[in-house]
Amino acid sequence: MREYGSLLEESKEDPGTRKRRYIVTIVAFIVVFVGVPWWAYYGYFHIPERRAVTHFFTALTAGDTQTAYNLWKADPAHYAYKDFMEDWGPTGIYGPVKSYRIESLSSPPKGGSGIIVVVEVSAYQPFPDGDDVEKSAKNKEIDMWVETRDKSLSFAPHF
């Protein structure tokens, strides 16, 4: 038979049960208030990778290609500044980059050590609206790879 008592009476609860309840409460608190924000910051929104791409394109849109190249963190033996300018310079494949928009960030489908960032670049400032068909047709979409470890940038591999 179950005994009921008032709030002011001393509890007859087993000390081991009380200890387990406290441990479960503390673990739940840590998961909710530490684990969930950490997962959202790094795993869902990819904030550090987004910031690396934003810094790169901010330098590029300002015309500071040397800073953009440094942010790219390329190995000069494999991707020299001259090669970078052929891709990103004013007369390059993706240039001139006057404005940009980050379209999406996602983990690679087969796993990997980085994040795929899809960026749309435009030769017009400000970024053209979808209603401006003539300018929007000249936008270029770029799949970029941001290495999670050191935030180095490169073109995304094809999966």
Model pLDDT for residues 74-99, shown as the tens digit of each residue:
899 999 999 999 999 999 999 899 99
Considering 17-21, 47-51, 105-109, 130-134, the range whose residues carry the highest mean pLDDT is 47-51
Task: Please state which of the ranges 34-43, 82-91, 126-135 shows the lowest mean pLDDT.
Answer: 34-43
The 10s digit of each residue's pLDDT in 115-127 is 999 999 999 999 9
Could you give the domains of the chain? 45-155 (3.10.450)
Can you give the pTM of this predicted structure? 0.77
What letter does residue 42 receive in the DSSP assignment?
Answer: I
Smallest Cα–Cα separation from 71: which of 14, 10, 146? Answer: 146
pLDDT at position 26 is: 93
Peptide bond into 90 cis (omega under 30): no
d(CA 13, CA 28) in angstroms, rounded, equals 22
The mean pLDDT value of the chain amounts to: 89
Which pLDDT band holds residue 5 (cuts at 50, 70, 90)? Answer: low
Structure tokens at 63: 């015309």
H-type alpha helices, 4-107: 15-30, 36-38, 47-61, 65-72, 81-88
Q: Higher pLDDT residue, 3 or 66?
A: 66
How far is it between the farthest Cα atoms of the chain? 86
Q: How many CB atoms lie within 10 A of CB 57?
A: 23
Structure tokens at 122: 């435009």
Confidence check: pLDDT of 1 > 60:
no
Report the alpha-carbon angle 110-116-119, nearest 5: 150
Confidence check: pLDDT of 2 > 80:
no
Report the alpha-carbon angle 86-127-65, nearest 5: 30
d(CA 133, CA 89) in angstroms, rounded, equals 24
